[in-house]
Amino acid sequence: MDGRTDDSAVARKYDVPMSDSTPTRDLCFVAMPFGIKTDVAGPVSFDAVYHKIIQPAIEKAGLEPLRADEEVAGGLIHKPMFERLILCKFAVADLTTANANVFYELGVRHAARPGSTVLVYAEGRGQLPFDVAPLRALPYRLDAAGSPADPEKAVADLGARLDAMRTQSSGNQAGVIDSPLSNTLDGYLFPDIARLRTDVFRERVQYAQDIKQKLAAARRSGLDAVRAVEQEIENLDATESAAVVDLFLSYRAVKGWQEMIALAARMPKPLAATILVREQLALALNRAGDDARAEEVLLDILATRGPSSETYGILGRIYKDRWERTRNANDPFRAKALLEKAIDTYRKGFEADWRDAYPGINTVTLMELREPPDPKREELLPVVRYAVTRRIAGSSPDYWDYATLLELAVLANDRENAADSLGNALVAMREKWEGETTARNLRLIAESRKKRGEDVQWIEELIAALS
């Protein structure tokens, strides 16, 4: 399953939710983490919290949700983010796990807007930090997997709070006063939001959403369609970063490697310097044939930011590609060394985050390809299986989760589970390259086992279905 950025995570991150609301609805900014985060009390599936509680509650109150996209760009806070924090009349901040980005955004919000900010948190996970403990916050409940345990009640509670705020603030630009600065600092003057160009802000948000809708359709049509959408973007600097990242990843979906490289060079410098963009630039460079530069980019990230399952995963792909090219060129000594380097790199990625099954499955797959197969893979296989099953239990499974289970079943010669996982993977597949990536790994396993005289017809049937 090489080539994934955790696309499962990134795809969820860069989507700004679309609603059926009309353009006249007030915007409600949402500050919260993305994906699955873990604290001492266990995992929290923030995407599930958003989709099952926060988004429906905001819409129930007659508002339009606008989720923060800072994690798409590696924690980037820039002009569009500040505009969202300041110009949205309403806001919801999830304080669960005491995420640093969320608390920073809440501080900016409290300094810029006197009111209409609702705080929520998952109960039973320890006390809130001292500075926000006195503030009135709404609790919600989580189950053992980190998903909402009673979403109906949480939606009703949050929806009622927002609806009351909307009603009380009708005709009042300041909203319902809840910023602690309004009560503790005599004479503090909040910015005059009415004088800011909120109409231009709304138009920019709507423009970004329109671009994303067009990109979703373009990805189904191919490279030329994505290029056409890019031509409609007049100024990358004035476009929301989430839309620019969506364009960047849309090119990846249609194998527009050169277009990704060119777009990265034209991005605003703060966005181009983020970890996500640099990692995906390295992926594109490798696919475009410039593996030396790709390796340089990733090694620099590791040197400056430390170990990461994502960075090591993409770097492992570079070494894996080099191994395959060298092997096909009948250079067995270099091929053996490159295979070991790829295995070691993927293993480092898995050790950097045991919850990420992606580098783990690539580690055990390449161990299978050694001659003879590395017996240590038997120690890692159950750990990789546990990582992916916990992920599936804690969130909505995607293609890569089922693809991992498929590869694990093939490695274990479990034909029944392989067939079941294949069916689930095919249903969850969003883009053709995903299946091609998994088929490539299975083909390598089949070739290796065929040389050993093993029956691989059943694996070839799986490959055919993916292709």
Q: According to the model, what pLDDT value does residue 7 have?
A: 42
Q: With cut-offs at 50, 70 and 90, classify the pLDDT of residue 360.
A: very high
In whole angstroms, what is the distance from residue 233 CA to residue 155 CA?
37
Q: Where do the domains of the chain lie?
A: 12-188
Q: According to the model, what pLDDT value does residue 258 have?
A: 98
- Residue 203 to residues 89, 123, 208: CA-CA distances in angstroms? 15, 37, 9
Q: What is the mean pLDDT of residues 236-248?
A: 84
pLDDT of 253 over the 50 cut: yes
Q: Is 184 exposed, middle or buried (0-12, 13-18, 19+ CB in 10 A)?
A: exposed
First-residue to last-residue Cα distance in the chain? 14
Q: According to the model, what pLDDT value does residue 17 have?
A: 36
Q: Is 379 exposed, middle or buried (0-12, 13-18, 19+ CB in 10 A)?
A: exposed
Among 214, 249, 205, residue whose Cα is nearest residue 10:
249
pLDDT digits (tens, 9 = 90+) for 315-345: 999 999 999 999 999 999 999 999 999 999 9
CB-CB contact of 35 with 12 (8 Å): yes
pLDDT digits (tens, 9 = 90+) for 297-321: 999 999 988 999 999 999 999 999 9
Q: With cut-offs at 50, 70 and 90, classify the pLDDT of residue 289.
A: very high
Q: Is the pTM of this model over 0.75?
A: no
pLDDT digits (tens, 9 = 90+) for 55-111: 999 999 999 898 865 444 444 545 667 777 777 889 999 999 888 888 888 888 888
Q: With cut-offs at 50, 70 and 90, classify the pLDDT of residue 23.
A: very low
CATH code, residues 12-188: 3.40.50.450
Counting residues of the chain whose pLDDT is more than 70, the rounded percentage is: 82
CB-CB contact of 198 with 94 (8 Å): no
Instruction: Say which range, 116-125, 146-155, 258-267, has the weakest mean pLDDT.
Output: 116-125
